[in-house]
Structure 1
């Protein structure tokens, strides 16, 4: 199955949501793709192989690096070293801090942040092999608007995604001399199964505040912009004009930004009598 003349991509979280949509776009661009996820692999691979036979899938838990190393070795034996690694695996638990258990908080840190570390570390030997083959491979972390600015009701998620951006920033510097590129993508809320599940328990305050970052983007629209950003030279890819404006305001005029958020928050809390 290995075709050394083709480009190869590995996508974690590739069985649903952003990961699945990006995989479809990669296939359209003639990539061989290996997807990795903790569930839904068989169904996703069946769907994707209707688009191309050059797709394979592996079940894994990003919290378990030793298992990941074995799965990545299988993937490399199937399609070769990756030109592109996209880490889209992640979870969100939308609860206020006082309602969230330590286990729920730690689970988000372990999957979103530690999992990102594990993916990059387990893939590194294969990325270095790609460099030896004359390629310039790239690691892309899917972070979030919640890694750029804090959001009510997302203590665990924000903490993990702020960490992912910090991890990517350092890896960008450390891997530069090894000829491995790094990028981090920060979308606003995207209409995926993860978000659908989250809305069942999320706070109305959170939902109202999200509108400041551009609201919820359809997955097709978001992934079109994400995909273009992945193949740009930008390290940080911020999705959506409204989120880019909000992020710039929070950095250039942080006190003004926080005062505006506080005013909005006070009105929302009063509205819902919280």
Structure 2
């Protein structure tokens, strides 16, 4: 542990947004602990080519006891976090009718309950950072699907709407304890998760998601990273996604009317083909 370096913890840090943000943190001379369910060893080897100040831990965000044990090891390695980014998550892109109860609950348990578990297990260490004179920040990676509904995303939207609500409340509750909170709501980002979804996902879902735009992971994470380092609470990368979120919030009836028209056109086109 180097006292002159800040420390970041990143869950879901072995791939996608979490891995890309970890690269940027190392570039900014953070000590980085990544946590993930799979791919830890390979990710750490790759990141150590950029900086030796990285370590990794295998976790399951559904199990708070495991999180507490691994977070304790991370504190021993690099000290309490100046920044904690919870990027762990999954998506099952199926209609409500086709999705099993198990698939629905798995998304809730990993995306929403997992976010709760990460925050709760880390809270004592965030407070420890405050006691050391730091001003730590807790960041949740949610989704634009946590702000507006999307066809074929019943479980995912339900979980990510919950993550946004969790972040809203923790922003208020932790404010007096000098712990900042932010939530990131990106549109579709080209990650391994999205690539896998495209293999079997609904063409209706794919078409509707383009209303919010699609971003390369590097571009999305450049905007996300700048947002994390700012005082923003809600970080929405991509101009198109920001416009969509604003219209849905300010003119909800107009927004839903336009979505319905788009949806009807897509379904008619598919039926005709």
Matches within 5 A, 1:48-127: 48-127=47-126
Q: Is the 8 A contact 1:95 1:201 kept in 2?
A: no
Alignment deviations for residues 132-166 of structure 1 (CA, whole Å, 9 cap, x no partner): 00000000000000001000000000000000000
Q: How far apart are the structure 2 equivalents of 1:231 and 1:119? A: 20
Aligned residues: 272
In the other structure, the counterpart of 1:205 is: 204
> Structure 2: where are the runs of 5+ without partners?
none
RMSD between aligned residues: 0.7
Instruction: List aligned pairs for 1:209-220, cutoff 5 A.
Output: 209-214=208-213, 216-220=214-218
Offset at 1:4? 2.0
Can you list the C-alpha shifts for 1:217-260, whole angstroms capped at 9, x where unaligned?
A: 10110000000010111100111111111111111111110000
For 1:10 and 1:36, locate their aligned partners in 2 and report how far apart those are by CA, in whole Å: 8
Instruction: State the 1:211 CA deviation.
Output: 1.1
Map of 1:268 onto structure 2? 266
User: Which one of the candidate residues 251, 254, 268 is aligned to 1:253?
Assistant: 251
Paired residues for 1:94-173 under 5 Å? 94-173=93-172
Q: Equivalences for 1:235-254 in 2 at 5 Å?
A: 235-254=233-252
SS in 2 for 1:183: strand
| Corresponding position of 1:224 | 222
Q: Distance in 2 between matches of 1:46 and 1:66?
A: 27
TM-score by length of 1: 0.98
Q: Secondary structure at the match of 1:85?
A: strand
CA distance in 2 between counterparts of 1:224 and 1:253 reads: 29
Deviation at 1:18, TM superposition (A): 0.3
- Structure 1, unaligned runs of 5 or more: none
